[in-house]
Amino acid sequence: MSARPPAPVPPSPPISQPGDPRRLSSTVAWLCAFFAFLNIYAMQPVLPMVMRDFGATPVQAGFTVGATIFALALMSPFIGMLSDAAGRKSVVFFSLLGLCLPTALVPFADSLRMLIVLRFLQGLFIPGIVVVLLAYIGEEFEGEAIARLNGVFMSGAVIGGFCGRFITGHLGHLFGWRSAFVALTLLDALGALIVWRGIPASRHFTANRDFGNALRILARHLHNIPLLTACVVGFCVLFSLIGTFTYVVVLLGFPPFNLSVAALANIFSIYLVGAFITHFSGRFIARIGSRAALLIALALSSGGLCLALLPSLFAVLAGLTLCSSAIFICQAAAFSAIAHNVSEGRSLASGLYYMAYYGGGATGAWVAGLAFEAYGWSGSVISMILAQAVAAVAAWFGWRQATPTTSPHTPPEN
C-alpha cells in the first residue's frame, strides 16, 4: 500500500511589512501633500474678514496669501540641498513639526503686518514637505509608477488645499477667522505624527554632503532645458491659480454677489473635481507626453477663465471648476517632465522648480491684485490668461518631444 502524497501546502501570501514602500507609498505621498497644502491657502476664504478687521485693500489682504507663497519660493532650493545631505524622512517630519509654531501664533496677530510675518514663517517650513516628497518619488520608483504617484500627490494636494480653505471659512464664519488656525495647528501636529510613523525608509537615497558638488549639480541643472521649461510652466500656472482664487473671493464677497464667508468656503468644493481628475491624470500624461497634456490643459484653463467673466454666479463657478482642474493637470505634467529628465540632485531640481512655482504664485497674488484694483475682475483674468500663454510657448519649444516613460534612475535620452 503506497503512502498517500502529502497535501499541497498553499503558498503563503506575501507579507507586507509596515515600512514596505510598495504598500504605503501612495498613502504617505497623499498625506504629505494633504498636510502641506492644508496651510498654504487657508487665508483665501477669510480675506473679506481680514480686510474689514484691519482696514486693508485687496492687494494688502492678498499679501497674507502671497507672503506664504513667497517664503516657499525662497526656501525651496535650500531645502533641496539640506535634504540631499540629511535624508528625506527627517526633513519631512521636522518641517511638519516646525510648521505648528507659526500656525499656533496666527490667532494672536494684532496687526496686518504681524499676520503677514507669521504667514511668511509658515511658508518657510512647507518646502521641506513638498520638495522632498517629489525627490523621494523620483528616487524610489520607476517608469509609469512615477506618473501614477505624481497623480496621487496632486490629489492629496488638492484635497489639502480644499480642506484648509473649507475649515478656515466655516470656522471663521462661526467663531472668527482666528479660531480656524487653532484647528490647523492641531492637524499639523497630527500630520507630523502620522508621517513619522508611516513614511517608508529610502532605498535609493545616497547622502550628498559635498557642497561643491551640489553647486556643480546646480550648474548642470541650469543647463537642463526640460527642467528650466518646467520651472517656467510652474511659475505661470501658479500665477494664474493664485490670482484666480485670491481675487474671485474678493469679487464674490462684495456687491453684487455678497456671499458670506461660509459660502465662499463652499466654493472651494470645486477642488474636489480637481482631486478626482488629477488622481487619474498620471496615465493620461504617460500616454501622450507632458507637452501635449500641458497644452490641452492650458487651453481648457483659459477657456474656464473666460467663462468666469460672465455676470452669473453659475458661470463663475463653472469657469473656476474648469480652470482649476486643468491647472492641476498642468502641475502633474510638469512633475512628470522633471522626474523623467533629471537623473541627479533630484531634491535640488525639485527646489528649483518650487522656487519658480511659488515665485509665480507670489507674483500672481500681487500682479492680479493690481489688475483687480485698476480694471476689476476682467483685469485679473487678462493677466492670468497672458501667463498661461507664456507657459504654452515655453512648453512648445522646451518640451519638443513627448516625455519618455524611462526609468528615472538612468539618464533620460534628450
pLDDT in tens, 286-343: 788 888 999 999 999 999 999 999 999 999 999 999 998 898 889 888 878 887 888 7
Are 86 and 209 within 8 A, CB to CB? no
What is the number of other CB atoms lying within 10 angstroms of the CB of residue 329? 27
* 2-6, 96-100, 106-110, 206-210, range with the lowest pLDDT: 2-6
Choose from 27-31, 144-148, 315-319 the range with maximum mean pLDDT: 315-319
Separation CA 166–CA 45 (nearest Å): 8
Q: What is the pLDDT of residue 275?
A: 67
Write the pLDDT tens digit of every residue in 114-142. Answer: 999 999 999 999 988 887 777 777 776 76
Is the pLDDT assigned to residue 236 strictly greater than 50? yes
- Crossing angle of helices 112-125 and 21-40, in 10° steps, is 170
pLDDT of 26 strictly over 70: yes
3 state SS of 359? helix
Which residue shows C-alpha cell 521636522?
94
DSSP annotation of 129 reads H
User: Average pLDDT in the 353-361 region?
Assistant: 87
In this model, does residue 156 exceed pLDDT 80? yes
For the domain spanning 22-398, the CATH number is 1.20.1250.20
Residue 107 has pLDDT above 90, yes or no: yes
Joined together, the cell numbers standing for residue 373 give 484694483
**pLDDT of 185 higher than 60:** yes
**Highest mean pLDDT out of 114-118, 250-254, 281-285:** 114-118
pTM, rounded to two decimals: 0.74
Dist. CA 230–CA 290, nearest whole Å: 10
Between 342 and 408, residue with greater pLDDT: 342
d(CA 44, CA 50): 10
From start to end of 16-145, where are the E strands? none
Q: What percent of the chain has pLDDT over 70?
A: 83
Q: What is the pLDDT of residue 211?
A: 66
Q: Which long-range contacts (CB under 8 A, 24 or more apart) does 301-309 make?
A: 301/237, 301/240, 301/326, 301/327, 301/330, 301/388, 302/385, 302/388, 302/389, 305/240, 305/244, 305/381, 305/384, 305/385, 306/381, 306/385, 308/244, 308/248, 308/377, 308/381, 309/377, 309/378, 309/381
Q: What is the mean pLDDT of the chain?
A: 81
Higher-pLDDT residue of 351 and 14 is 351
pLDDT at position 343: 76
Query: Given the C-alpha cell 494688502, which residue does it identify?
Result: 60
Which residues, including other chains, have CB under 8 Å from residue 206's CB and lie 6 or more apart? none
* Structure-derived torsion over alpha carbons of residues 262, 266, 271, 273, reported in degrees to the nearest 10: 170
